[in-house]
Amino acid sequence: GAVVSQHPSWVICKSGTSVKIECRSLDFQATTMFWYRQFPKQSLMLMATSNEGSKATYEQGVEKDKFLINHASLTLSTLTVTSAHPEDSSFYICSARGDRELGQPQHFGDGTRLSIL
Amino acid sequence: EDQVTQSPEALRLQEGESSSLNCSYTVSGLRGLFWYRQDPGKGPEFLFTLYSAGEEKEKERLKATLTKKESFLHITAPKPEDSATYLCAVRSFGNEKLTFGTGTRLTIIP
């Protein structure tokens, strides 16, 4: 149980294009979803937290207009990197949690490797 | 502010050589401490949640323990497939977020 699917797993695109990454909880309802960025050999850096039906809460230093997050249902959140540039190249990982109060763990997707040429 | 420190940064063991990974933490009030395993190019895989001091959880060759200041991940008779980065994270009361340590990169040599 607690499976999170992330798609695509790998994307290469030209500078200036927008890229959408999907994160789905397959066997549970995710009241809260998280988006992380991970640089090589470093730990996860939280970008934003989203609750279903609400606007996302972004971490300090993360551009809201650059990284658009939508959490329209209890099983789907999307991250859109708008007008992507080479410095946006990274490994993006989503996670989902089924309950806000009981201290349940976050379950992670397998990540999306984004390369901007 | 919640803080997590993991040690060692990297650990190389012979197959069958047992050892422990350390996670020291500082939180205002612990909601949960989480252990994850991450393979290269993959997202973290959930292993254990610990909620209170004295609690222990086991899964195959792994055992996690918790005190008021630290957690240990004990690995008994490891196999090469146990090679991965092990991440520790904490969540404090009233906080949506996890605070992660930088991980321990474990290599098991056949």
Q: Tens of pLDDT along A53-110?
A: 888 999 999 999 999 999 888 899 999 999 999 999 999 999 999 876 667 899 999 9
Chain A neighbors of B1, CB-CB under 8 A:
none
Residue-level pLDDT at A100: 62
User: Which of A44, A91, A115 best tests the B interface by mutation, with the highest count of B CBs <10 A?
Assistant: A44
Q: What are phi and psi of B80, to 5 degrees?
A: -55, -35
Tens of pLDDT, residue by residue over B64-99, are 999 999 999 999 999 999 999 999 999 998 888 999
From CA A19, how far away is CA A12, in angstroms rounded? 9
Contact A43 B102 (CB under 8 A): yes
Contacts of B87 in chain A (CB under 8 A): 43-44
Nearest CA-CA distance, residue A15 and chain B, Å = 23
Q: B59 — contact with chain A (CB < 8 Å)?
A: no
CA dihedral B29, A3, B102, B14 (to 10 degrees): 120
A contacts of B101 (beta carbons < 8 Å): 43
The helix or strand, by DSSP H or E, that contains position A46, with its residue range, turns out to be: strand A44-51
